[in-house]
Amino acid sequence: MDGECVSLLPGVCKVLADSGRSLPDDTSLEKLLDWFTGLSKTGGSLLESCPCLLEFISTVGSNTALDPGVLSFALRLAGLIAAREAGFTVLQERSVVDLVFNPQHWQDAGLWSDPCIRIGWIQGLQNMLQHPKALSFFVQSDLTQLLLQLQADTSLFVASAASQLLGHILLRFQPPPSSRREGTGETAEDHQGTSVEYAAVVVVISEYIQKSLSTEGSTQHRRSVQLLRLLALLLAQAGPPLRDTLLQAVGDALKELVAAGCSQLTLPLMDVILAAHSCGADKPDRHLSCLLSSMFSVNKPADLIQAAAAFLRRGLHDSDHSVWAVRILLLPLDIVTGRSLLGSKDLDEHRLSTAEELKIKNSCISLLCLCLTNTPHITLLPADLLPCPPGLIVTAVLALLSISSGQNSASSSPTATSCTEVSRNVIGSSKVQKCALEALAALSCCPGGKEKMNEVFTVLLQYLDSPDSDPTVLHKSYLALIKWMSLCTNLSFLTEQLRQDLLSVVRKRVCDVRWEVRDSTVEFVGKAAGVLTSPEEAPEGLPVSTAPLLKEALQDTESYVRASAIGALAQTQWHSWQQGAALTQQQTETVSRLLEILSQDTEGFARRAVVQYFISWFSAVSSHASPSSSISSYPSASLLMNSVRSVLSFGSADLDWEVKVHTLELARLLLDEAFLAEWGYRKSPDSYAGDSERTCRLHTHSRGVESDLAGVLTSLVELGVISALLSGLVDCDRPVALKACRLLIRLRDTVSWDSESQDASAAMATVTRVSCELPGWGWGQEIKKVLESKSSDWASKDCATALILSGADDGDSDQDGGDRMHAGVCEVLRSLGLDERLDILSQSSDHVHNSPLSLLQDILDASAAHTHPNTQPGQEVIVDCY
Amino acid sequence: MKLYCLSGHPTLPCNVLKFKSTTIMLDCGLDTTSVLNFLPLPLVHSARLSKLPGWISKDGTVNLEKELKECAGRVFVDSQPEFCVPERELLDLSTIDVILISNYHCMMALPYITEHTGFTGTVYATEPTLQIGRLLMEELVNFMERVPKAQSATCWKNKEIQRILPGPLKDAVDVWIWKRCYSMQEVNSALSKVQLVGYSQKVELFGAVQVSPLSSGYSLGSSNWIIQSHHEKVSYVSGSSLLTTHPQPMDQSSLKNSDVLILTGLTQMPTANPDGMLGEFCSNLAMTIRAGGNVLVPCYSSGVIYDLLECLYQFIDSANLGTTPFYFISPVANSSLEFSQIFAEWLCHNKQSKVYLPEPPFPHAELIQTNKLKHYPSIHGDFSSEFRQPCVVFTGHPSLRFGDVVHFMELWGKSSLNTIIFTEPDFSYLDALAPYQPLAMKCVYCPIDTRLNFHQVSKLLKEVQPLHVVCPEHYTQPPATQSHRSDLMLELQPPPMPYRRCSVLNLPFRRRYERVYILPELANSLVPSEIKPGISVATVSAVLHSKDNKHTLQSIPKPPPVPPSKKRKRVMEEPPVTPAPKPLLSGAVPLEAFLTTLQKHGITEVKVEETADGHILHLQAEDTLIQLEEDGTHIVCDNNEPLRTTLRDLVLRFLQKL
């Protein structure tokens, strides 16, 4: 622990123990406790590092006149200290444990009625109950009954904490399985003592749960829900003995609750049953199966479908119930669409009640949505669990989509009359539409889905064409379309008509009045190009025909659309970049338009997208170029490198920090590329931080490479990479400065040689001669300032001036009035104090404010301000205001 | 109360309501869909149309070469287009007292009703309805008169011949009553009978009923009407809209508590949401212009066009259409655009508030100022020198049978780059395009109908809760093409009363009350007596005076005192000597108390028998019956007048005299 903190702590304890003093704010005690919890977790003993705490707890524990918040804090702190046996023993020796955890003590003081104290007591106990001694204390002090009473506390927080403590006790002190017991070093006696006490606790608690469930199950739902949650938690984590005991105790109560069929308890009950079911032995318990079956025979469609969904989500290997759950989940879809997914077998009773439920608009939509969200999962189940082939489910979802768009009625079936009533609830419901589209997207992976491709496209295109489709519905339709398209590499599986329709709908939507729609359309075009990797057989294929639309979208009034269009352009061109296709006139035009956007667009999104466009272009090209060939052999290399130069200069001068970060990412790629071409080392996708292997290899290089290194460095200077990095370093936005700093450190480590070695220094002569230009204003000046301050740190001022190789060029003075300077790159890199800078930049901007030291100081200051003889109450506030 | 339905068209209604001795016509819409059976009237000579072959029946027996032409597999009448006017035989139109107009689309048949039928009543409409209605009529007359056709085809209407005609002509109904367009003179005469009214203004009709227009939110000056007497209320809902477009919002609350609500003018496109259609319109327009094509929008010269222009005003820049010219061609284009700007009080609040700013309510003024929108009376003249392509042209008539639109169809129909976008819902676009087939031009159907849809109307009816609803039969079943859409029909309890052309409905409520005034001096003379707590009753003798459907009770004039003259008595009718009216009795005879009273008077042997309405008392010794019933008391007593009188007096003791 920080020495300064240790020295402040006694003062703080004094402040807290003094009832008259105030705290800076009501979160400070929580922060303090968090700090102590952190300290004890890291392994140190709290009492050893902060001996004053013992005194604090014993004083505070007996001073009932204190603020309940402080008392609650002390209780939890005491628990934290007593969490270790040693701490517990010390506290017990001072009778602190007996005092503070004795509820009578608080009741006598009239404080027990304060929920703050009760919750402190509970959480203190929970902190403490980590070892057998604590359990013995708990049992011997007879606290179990009180804890059980607190389950029904009037305060929700207290009740919930008490319930958690119950769970904690049962789970924490479970006897370890015999196989595990050997290695742990626990002695048999040790455990025996505990197990007697533990067994007693288990009996009491399970009796309590059983009694409460059967008496309150039907009346007090809130309490029952809480008990069931506790039970589910316990069953999920309990070992076999505990689990069996619990199940034996609550089995009948559960049965009664299931039979009562209360809707609010459906999900919690299901959780309990499933928790018990899933952790059981390989063969499912007969009682549990019965419970599950009776859950599945409730005649309330909403409850039933929820239970079925919960069951399926668990993914249990229980084929009987799975078959049933699947049937229940598919029933609404079967009824609404009139497709017989289930055949006519059984379910008749449920069919009637579900059909009635579906006539009510709200429950209709919620039932259908639940059904739809589960369909993708259902289709992936083993075939013998399904009532129909997965393809039929896809067809049913498509039918539902058609009904919902008002296009189609349900197919004629005996229940057709109820269908018309139901379809009225579904027509135009965008919630159902969205849910069904999401389901449809996920259904693309279902077995045999590919055969449904044309049907799927027909419905999706209908949605995309419909004037009434909501923008979010259109977006989801596009997403579904992409998912299904990704099953193939081109659109040849579609009928000619569908391909035409797709094209015309995209053409129309890209002109939509709503920008959200234009945006998703443009995005779709990009993604489609990414998905359809094999060349289109038809000349008017989708990517080719949509390229002009994207160019048009670059002019859009909405910046999101422009940004998406730029992104989509990059996606459509990725393949041709990678394959090194020759540049077309159109591409050249696009590039100049993009540079125009970067330099002139008023919105950050579009500019960010431009930088990313060039990042993907550059990485596509460099991933294509083999180690032996460099980018210069690429057909459109000169356009690319010229553009990159402009991007670096515009991007690093941008006002938007994200644009600058993206620009630095481009600089990183350039650095990678530059050094890769020279030495051919392995590329790594992540940033430069901590890659010692590369540095080593560079350092062991022989002479003869120095001139190449100088060349690389010169080209980087000429491209503007160095300027971009340096300007980033002094940027006021931390993420920009941090990224630039990391890159500069890497660069420095790459170009610097061991200056001690004579050979090296001679060899580096040419490298050190490489210089870059610093503008006489803005970042150039900032860099100069940094250099000057650094040089004053370690040597004379002359050194700093020596770094600057030359002053202003004659007569070529900058417009802004400043003088341009040239500086040696290597020297600058060495002299900027990059490592210190990285340390500072790596810390979050509020690290000072959030430190424990600051917290302790705040507490001291606040109390000092409050108790200062000359301050009037309220004066502090006035000072704050002015 | 009766309703005569002279038009079956749900959005172009013409109904007559007989209510309390008044005869009120509600709207007189003109069904112009009949013109689809005619050949287009080209502004410029069209070689294609003039070379069309005439129609001869297959067996050659019927030759109508002059009247019917075959074009693209269909037969069209080659004559001046004719309209299907409202039924004129169902009742004598000269008996109509007033015509209430709800919006300018629903008054186009006015000259057919007011002229040459003996009509002598008044037409009530709001000012924008009158002015814009006049523009539309003027435009229609202009379209027709610009291209006069001497020939008038009538032979094909012969029942025997019509039966053997192909296609839609065979099934056309009431062809004999189809009429050619009216003249400008008739328009002026008809419109001179219009009296202007403002929203919520109450107009008394002969003291019998009061009519009052309410804002209906559909178009400038559009209204629904309330027709009410003191105790009855009929609401007439015509084209209404709940959407926020340019007109004043709909007044819904005044429709509450109607006995009968006549519901017409719902949207013709229940499945086409106007917002979605507007979006379609814009994106198709942009798509065509970007591809270098022209866009033709056949439309009326007022109404939705204002909203289209406003929408485009916002869309032009975002779609980079800033340099594309927009033309609006109509004989009344200029007046329409300018009128819309001056009817400030009839606009929605948003636009009204612009009146106080130095900017006009509608943004089309700015489009005109910046030369993005140009308007011309016709394609002749200035337009031809300014015409630049690609462009967007708004012009009429939406039926594509007459007006400048015919020229653009001939001009642009052959290129697949061009697009025609239908926005008016009144005509089937396929029928409208039929005489232009084969057509390379792209066709987009974006009907924009802002009138109430079924969802909105059922919500509205739930709120205003009329006792009975009367509506066209179309609204009581789903559209024929979408029989599964049970959401596209009215479902009400009690079910709505459907009507069709020529229906006469007896509206299902009886008038039970009439308001009668009482003069103060007469009122003063009344002596009320309380018969139940809080209810007092008085008898009144007076003379009922009825004039102008107002009823007043006046004191009976006292016979003039006979002048003390010695002259011989004139032979004059003596006022009948009215005996003082007997007091009215009220109350019930309490059985127990009555029996006690009888006993006191020595009548002891009484057998009481309970009946459905009261009791029969059998006085056995006297052999007399007394029937005490809810609404009558009888004493049956043979030949014992004193006993009867005694018994009568005993009964009267228990009753109150007024």
Percent of chain A with pLDDT over 90: 20
Contacts of B311 in chain A (CB under 8 A): 513
For chain A, positions 331-350, list CB contacts with chain B under 8 A.
none
Cβ-defined contact of A424 to B487 (cutoff 8 Å): yes
- Clarify whether residues A136 and A6 are in a common domain: yes
CA distance A601 to A659: 12
CA dihedral for A666, A668, A671, A677, sign (positive or negative): negative
Helix (H) or strand (E) holding B335: helix B333-342
Looking at residue A463, its pLDDT comes to 94
What Cα–Cα distance (Å) separates residue B191 from each residue in B188, B287, B308?
5, 43, 29
Cβ-defined contact of B315 to A513 (cutoff 8 Å): yes
Helix (H) or strand (E) holding A420: helix A416-426
Cα-flanking dihedrals φ and ψ of residue A6, to 5°? -60, -40
Bridge partners of B585? B657
- Clarify whether residues A136 and A146 are in a common domain: no
Percent of chain B with pLDDT over 90: 53
Nearest to B287 among A511, A555, A558 (CB): A511
> Domain for residue A337, yes or no?
no
- Angstroms from B223 CA to nearest CA on chain A: 29
- Clarify whether residues A713 and A846 are in a common domain: yes
**Residue B28, both tokens:** 């007189």
Contacts of B285 in chain A (CB under 8 A): 511
Q: Which domains does chain B have, with CATH numbers?
A: 2-267+451-506 (3.60.15.10), 274-445 (3.40.50.10890), 585-657 (3.30.310)
With bands split at pLDDT 50, 70 and 90, how would you rate the model's confidence at A415? very low
CA distance A316 to A467: 44
Site from B486, B489, B491 to mutate, A interface, most A CB atoms within 10 angstroms: B486
Query: What are the tens digits of pLDDT across the range B449-501?
Result: 999 999 999 999 999 999 999 999 999 998 888 877 878 889 888 899 999 99
Segment among A377-381, B149-153, B513-517 with least mean pLDDT: B149-153
**Residue B157, both tokens:** 């209407």
CA distance A177 to A233: 19
Query: Three-class SS of residue B223?
Result: strand
Residue A723: CB atoms within 10 A of its CB come to 23
Looking at residue B462, its pLDDT comes to 92
> Domain for residue A868, yes or no?
no
Contacts of A515 in chain B (CB under 8 A): 318
Nearest residue in chain B measured CA to CA from A507: B287
CA distance B479 to B489: 8
CA distance B124 to B194: 6
- Clarify whether residues A51 and A118 are in a common domain: yes
Please check whether residue B635 is in contact with residue B617, taking contact to mean a CB–CB distance below 8 angstroms.
Answer: no
- Clarify whether residues A720 and A837 are in a common domain: yes
- Clarify whether residues A2 and A137 are in a common domain: yes
Q: What is the mean pLDDT of residues B508-517?
A: 84
* Cα-Cα end-to-end distance for chain B: 37
Please check whether residue A611 is in contact with residue A659, taking contact to mean a CB–CB distance below 8 angstroms.
Answer: yes
- Clarify whether residues A27 and A148 are in a common domain: no
Residue A96 CB partners (closer than 8 Å, separation 6+): A54, A57, A58, A61, A78
> Pairing mode, if any, of strands B209-215 and B203-205?
antiparallel
Q: Does A593 touch chain B (CB under 8 A)?
A: no
Q: What is the mean pLDDT of residues A652-671?
A: 92
Is the pLDDT at A188 greater than 60? The verdict is no
> Domain for residue A520, yes or no?
no
> Domain for residue A617, yes or no?
yes
- Clarify whether residues A170 and A239 are in a common domain: yes
The closest alpha carbon to B486, from A463, A402, A419, belongs to: A419
**Residue B627, both tokens:** 């029937």
CA B153 vs. chain centroid, Å, equals 33
CA distance A621 to A633: 10
Please check whether residue A266 is in contact with residue A303, taking contact to mean a CB–CB distance below 8 angstroms.
Answer: yes
Residue A211: exposure state from Cβ atoms within 10 A (0-12, 13-18, ≥19): middle
Site from B267, B269, B271 to mutate, A interface, most A CB atoms within 10 angstroms: B271
CA distance A688 to A698: 14
What Cα–Cα distance (Å) separates residue A840 from each residue in A587, A845, A848, B574?
44, 9, 11, 124
- Clarify whether residues A847 and A783 are in a common domain: yes
With bands split at pLDDT 50, 70 and 90, how would you rate the model's confidence at A803? low
Residue B192 CB partners (closer than 8 Å, separation 6+): none
Looking at residue A797, its pLDDT comes to 47
Nearest to A509 among B277, B283, B320 (CB): B283
Looking at residue A814, its pLDDT comes to 44
Is the pLDDT at B614 greater than 50? The verdict is yes
> Pairing mode, if any, of strands B233-237 and B543-547?
unpaired
Nearest residue in chain A measured CA to CA from B311: A513
CA distance A171 to A239: 8
- Angstroms from A170 CA to nearest CA on chain B: 58
The per-residue DSSP string of A122-175 comes to HHHHHHHTTSHHHHHHHHHTT-HHHHHHHTT-SSHHHHHHHHHHHHHHHHHTPP
Size of interface A-B (CB pairs under 8 A): 61
> Domain for residue A410, yes or no?
no
Segment among A865-874, B329-338, B576-585 with least mean pLDDT: A865-874
Q: What is the mean pLDDT of residues A183-193?
A: 52
CA dihedral for B80, B85, B89, B92, sign (positive or negative): negative
> Domain for residue A746, yes or no?
yes
Contacts of B272 in chain A (CB under 8 A): 467-468
Residue A544 CB partners (closer than 8 Å, separation 6+): A536
Last residue of a domain, one of A248, A281, A314: A281
The closest alpha carbon to A443, from A405, A475, A473, A398, belongs to: A398
> Pairing mode, if any, of strands B98-100 and B442-445?
unpaired
Cβ-defined contact of A514 to B278 (cutoff 8 Å): no
The closest alpha carbon to B207, from B555, B557, B545, belongs to: B545
**Domains in chain A, number:** 4
Contacts of A555 in chain B (CB under 8 A): 320
C-alpha count within 13 angstroms, C-beta hemisphere, residue A213? 30
Tell me, what DSSP letter sits at residue A683? P
Contacts of B287 in chain A (CB under 8 A): 507-508, 511
CA distance A803 to A830: 11
With bands split at pLDDT 50, 70 and 90, how would you rate the model's confidence at A408? low
Domain that holds residue A77: 1-141
Cβ-defined contact of A557 to B276 (cutoff 8 Å): no
Q: Which amino acid appears at position B148 of this protein?
A: P
Most distant pair of Cα atoms in chain A: their distance: 98
Q: Does A877 touch chain B (CB under 8 A)?
A: no
Q: Which amino acid appears at position B517 of this protein?
A: Y
Looking at residue B112, its pLDDT comes to 96
**CA B382, B386, B387: angle at the middle one, nearest 5?**
110
> Domain for residue A329, yes or no?
no
- Clarify whether residues A836 and A781 are in a common domain: yes
The closest alpha carbon to B20, from B76, B122, B97, belongs to: B97
Is the pLDDT at A696 greater than 60? The verdict is no
Site from B487, B489, B490 to mutate, A interface, most A CB atoms within 10 angstroms: B487
C-alpha count within 13 angstroms, C-beta hemisphere, residue B386? 20
Cβ-defined contact of B283 to A427 (cutoff 8 Å): no
Cβ-defined contact of B484 to A427 (cutoff 8 Å): no
With bands split at pLDDT 50, 70 and 90, how would you rate the model's confidence at B577? low
Please check whether residue B387 is in contact with residue B407, taking contact to mean a CB–CB distance below 8 angstroms.
Answer: no
Query: What are the tens digits of pLDDT across the range B184-218?
Result: 999 999 999 999 999 999 999 998 899 999 999 99
Cβ-defined contact of B279 to A513 (cutoff 8 Å): yes
Cβ-defined contact of A513 to B485 (cutoff 8 Å): no
- Clarify whether residues A619 and A723 are in a common domain: no
Helix axes A188-216, A156-172, angle to 10 degrees: 140
> Domain for residue A334, yes or no?
no
Q: What is the mean pLDDT of residues B407-433?
A: 94
**CA dihedral of residues A858, A859, A863, A866 (deg, nearest 10):** 50
CA distance A300 to B133: 60
Query: What are the tens digits of pLDDT across the range A578-613?
Result: 887 777 888 889 999 999 999 999 889 999 999 999
- Clarify whether residues A77 and A42 are in a common domain: yes
Cβ-defined contact of B277 to A467 (cutoff 8 Å): yes
Which three-class secondary structure string do you get for B344-383? HHHECHHHHHHHHCCCCCCCHHHHHHCCCEEEECCCCCHH
pTM comes to 0.80
Q: What is the mean pLDDT of residues A410-436?
A: 74
Cα-flanking dihedrals φ and ψ of residue B442, to 5°? -75, 145
CA distance A434 to A447: 23
Q: What is the mean pLDDT of residues A692-705?
A: 42
**Residue A38, both tokens:** 């952190």
Nearest to B318 among A420, A423, A556 (CB): A556
CA distance A522 to A558: 12
- Angstroms from B321 CA to nearest CA on chain A: 11
Last residue of a domain, one of A613, A638, A656: A656
- Angstroms from A512 CA to nearest CA on chain B: 5
- Angstroms from B299 CA to nearest CA on chain A: 20
